[in-house]
Amino acid sequence: MSNSWPWPPGAATGIGSLPGTDIVEAVRIVLGELPDLPHLPELPARGPGADLIGRGAGLLVDLPVEVYANRWRVAARPGHDLRVARDLLERDLDAVTEQAADYAGPFKVQAAGPFTLAASIELPAGGRLLRDPGAVRELVESLAEGLRGHVAELTARLPRAQLLLQLDEPSLPAALAGRVPTESGFGTLRAVEETAARSALASVIDAAGVPVIVHSCAPDVPIDLVRGAGAAAVALDLTLLSDLDPLGEALDAGLGLIAGVVDTREPANGRPPSSAQAASRVREVWAKLGFPATRLPEQVVVSPTCGLAGTTMEYARSVMKACRDAGRRLREE
């Protein structure tokens, strides 16, 4: 089992997305509220190209995309939509460079994983790219190359930071279970074989060259597959887990955990979430698994249950603060 993880004890982080359209303000808030493991914010409210799929598609190499009928699809050549996606990312990297150039410590960036992209981007003739194994292989190779370059650019921009890459895979469980719908919505695509999924994910993880976290908000995250693909950690909504055994086995083998415990849904009373409750949820799961309490703050990072794009910035800030304070509670108690 590994005895070190790529973050300081008692760290907290965000999943990625935040509300609003001001990237400079978003970066400033993340650096202030999550100082031990800040991340590059994503602001999907800016429109196509700032969304999870558009941003991920913008990283693809020699695989141009465009928006058609409100969906991303493979294009014959690079066009306006791809330029917008890449310009937004460049603007975000400039904001991070300006405000975090001297930051020393772990810094997380996020990108859509191969199966979420394949389940969301359509082929030129229609239908999800996921239905064509050859197209999926091309996408995996393209994404691996794109992420290699993305990490290299960030390393040059933040020379004192230790980069972590989070692959967002909300569609991976559905792809493995054969639950991704066809274009008509009346059927589903054939399930992706677990060995093929592990191999594809491993090639993307290997290409990144930095510790990789695989994130999914689904209740049935394939934790064993994530570990087998070489990820350093898994990020999941701890409140959705019903079977703790796979998580326990992975943690025992040294996998890190980004534990989503602070609810991203703003309550009717607007009251900010409690860091004490968040820390208690993590401790409760850890105790059920029977691991030493001293290892908890080292192996586990506290996070929101999912992204925060659907909240107000005021509430998003309170969620980040609750995560940070919960992490410190786990370290100090």
- Is 242 part of any domain? yes
* Residue 288 lies in domain: 23-332
In this prediction, residue 3 carries a pLDDT of 55
pLDDT digits (tens, 9 = 90+) for 172-211: 999 999 999 988 778 999 999 999 999 999 999 999 999 9
Q: What secondary structure, in 3-state letters, does 206-249 show?
A: HHHCCCEEEEECCCCCCHHHHHHCCCCEEEEEHHHCCCCHHHHH
- Is 244 part of any domain? yes
pLDDT digits (tens, 9 = 90+) for 218-247: 889 999 999 999 999 999 999 999 899 999
Looking at the structure of the chain, the number of domains it has is 1
Contact 330, 282 (CB under 8 A): yes
What's the Cα-to-Cα distance from 158 to each of 89, 98, 166, rounded to whole Å?
15, 10, 17
pLDDT digits (tens, 9 = 90+) for 120-165: 999 998 899 999 999 999 999 999 999 999 999 999 999 999 999 9
- Is 11 part of any domain? no
Chain mean pLDDT for the chain:
95
- Is 6 part of any domain? no
pLDDT digits (tens, 9 = 90+) for 72-97: 999 999 999 999 999 999 999 999 99
- Is 322 part of any domain? yes
Q: Please name every residue paired with 109 in a beta bridge, in sequence order, or none if there are none.
A: 165
Residues 6+ apart with CB under 8 A from 103: 31, 38, 158, 160, 161
pLDDT digits (tens, 9 = 90+) for 106-118: 999 999 999 999 9
Q: What is the CATH number of the domain that holds 275?
A: 3.20.20.210
The CA distance from 191 to 249, in Å, is 25
In this prediction, residue 305 carries a pLDDT of 95
- Split at pLDDT 50, 70, 90, the class of 4 is confident
Six token digits for residue 228: 């087998």
pTM across the whole model:
0.96
- Is 234 part of any domain? yes
In this prediction, residue 52 carries a pLDDT of 96
With a cut of 80, say whether residue 217 has pLDDT above it. yes
In this prediction, residue 227 carries a pLDDT of 97
Give the three-class secondary structure for 133.
Answer: helix
126 CB-contact burial (10 Å; exposed 0-12 / middle 13-18 / buried 19+): exposed
- Is 9 part of any domain? no
What's the Cα-to-Cα distance from 133 to each of 75, 130, 289, rounded to whole Å?
18, 7, 38
